[in-house]
Structure 1
Amino acid sequence: MTGNDDSILEFLGERDVALSPRGLDINLEREGIAISYRTINRRLKQLHEKGL
């Protein structure tokens, strides 16, 4: 796992929400967490494959 994975999982876990990659991108940006949409999309696919 990467630091970006930790940020994504922490964000989703704290808010107990399901978001599309674009929705996650927008909300992370609002929180001041700088992860590109491309990275979010790629990491979500990897996390899903790992069952997270």
Structure 2
Amino acid sequence: MIWEWLAFAVRWVHVITAIAWIGSSFYFIALDLGLRQREGMPVGAHGEEWQV
């Protein structure tokens, strides 16, 4: 019985970790795209990214 609960807990930790990993990947892709230089930006600026 204890092994079943342990397997259940490990499986859910694995699922939650995978979701967090995928979410952080999307976050850093969006961050990287926001830091690209665009037309009309001041000299020395390499992009604009707003975060809360």
**TM-score, normalised relative to structure 2:** 0.31
**TM-score, normalised relative to structure 1:** 0.31
Larger RCO (CA within 8 A; separation ≥ 6): 1
